[in-house]
Amino acid sequence: MPVTIAQLQKWKQQKKPIAALTASDYAIAKLLDKAGIDMLLVGDSLAMVALGHKTTLPVTLEAMIHHAQAVGRGIENALLIVDMPFLSYQVSTEEALRSAGRIFKETDAKGIKLEGGYPDMVATIRKLVQAGMPVMGHVGLTPQSVHRIGYRVQGSTPDTAEEILHQAKALVEAGIFALLLENIPAELAAKITDLIPVPTIGIGAGKECDGQILVTHDVLGLSDWQPPFAKKYTNLQETITEAVKQYCQDVRNQ
């Protein structure tokens, strides 16, 4: 049966862990769905792992919609969430409403994800929720702010930890259905998970979150760089390279 947002809320209460991964194409999405994944995020990380950019910043709204359409065709049960890319929601609330509306109208997304928990972003999320659009929040390391904060652990001091906790509470009050916690200390993630009523999904945030997400390319060994918190379950780089070498050899030796 298709996973719903209401089920995520129920699973938090039941302490049933939520398994999530990213997806950017039909073939992989179909396999992940068949394997039983609960939630698939069409993350703006596809800018790096699928399109070859150095950061998530260059990916466009049109590209996100294009990839989300492909992923949607491949899944039957997983809950489909789509990242809103850089500058598709930060300029104004009106722009955010238009961008989010396109995602919901043009894909099978059941929710969208926005980065940040500062007052302006909280106000934007409140408007989106009021318009009937389910929103997942995202605090801690926010890759769209890479040039300001870098790719490093966030919330490692008492002041910054308190700020992230404050952001989490504000986002819940704005109406988010779940919260992604990225690259923050496990103790802080556990505290947030215990305090807020919506599911937390961790990535590099310890095991006490209500669920976990990783970039699928990292899990499958397809990435050139592996974050320290991501477990590689297989090495498809080696498998694919060897298979193609054998194919080339067969063709050339006919």
Bridge partner list, 228: none
Contact 40, 21 (CB under 8 A): yes
Closest alpha carbon to 28 in 60, 71, 77, 67: 71
Task: Flag whether 25 is marked binding.
Answer: no
Q: DSSP 3-state assignment of 111?
A: strand
Fill in the amino acid letter for 185: P
Query: How confident is the model at residue 85, as a pLDDT?
Result: 98
Exactly one of 62, 106, 182, 208 is catalytic; name it: 182
Structural domains in the chain?
Answer: 5-252 (3.20.20.60)
Task: Flag whether 88 is marked binding.
Answer: no
Fill in the amino acid letter for 118: Y
**pLDDT (tens digit, 0 to 9) for every residue of the chain, 254 residues total?**
999 999 999 999 999 999 999 999 999 999 999 999 999 999 999 999 999 999 999 999 999 999 999 999 999 999 999 999 999 999 999 999 999 999 999 999 999 999 999 999 999 999 999 999 999 999 999 999 999 999 999 999 999 999 999 999 999 999 999 999 999 999 999 999 999 999 999 999 999 999 999 999 999 999 988 899 999 999 999 999 999 999 999 999 98
Bridge partner list, 111: 81
Label the pairing between strands 39-42 and 79-83: parallel
> How is 162-224 classified by DSSP, letter by letter?
HHHHHHHHHHHHHT-SEEEEES--HHHHHHHHHH-SSPEEEESS-TTSSEEEE-HHHHTT--S
| Residue tagged 């972003």 (tokens) | 121
> How is 73-106 classified by DSSP, letter by letter?
HH-SSSEEEEEPPTTSSSS-HHHHHHHHHHHHHH
Q: How far apart are CA 62 and CA 85, in angstroms?
A: 10
Tally of residues, the chain: 254
Query: How confident is the model at residue 225, as a pLDDT?
Result: 87
Task: Flag whether 45 is marked binding.
Answer: yes
Q: How far apart are CA 203 and CA 209, in angstroms?
A: 9
Q: How far apart are CA 40 and CA 26, in angstroms?
A: 12
Label the pairing between strands 178-182 and 135-140: parallel
Q: How far apart are CA 98 and CA 162, in angstroms?
A: 33
Closest alpha carbon to 64 in 144, 179, 153: 144
Q: How far apart are the first and last CA of the chain?
A: 48
| Chain centroid to CA 24 | 11
Task: Flag whether 250 is marked binding.
Answer: no
Task: Flag whether 99 is marked binding.
Answer: no
Query: How confident is the model at residue 122, as a pLDDT?
Result: 97
pTM, two decimals, is: 0.96
Which pair of structure tokens corresponds to residue 151?
């790719």
Query: How confident is the model at residue 254, as a pLDDT?
Result: 87
State yes or no: is 182 an active-site residue.
yes
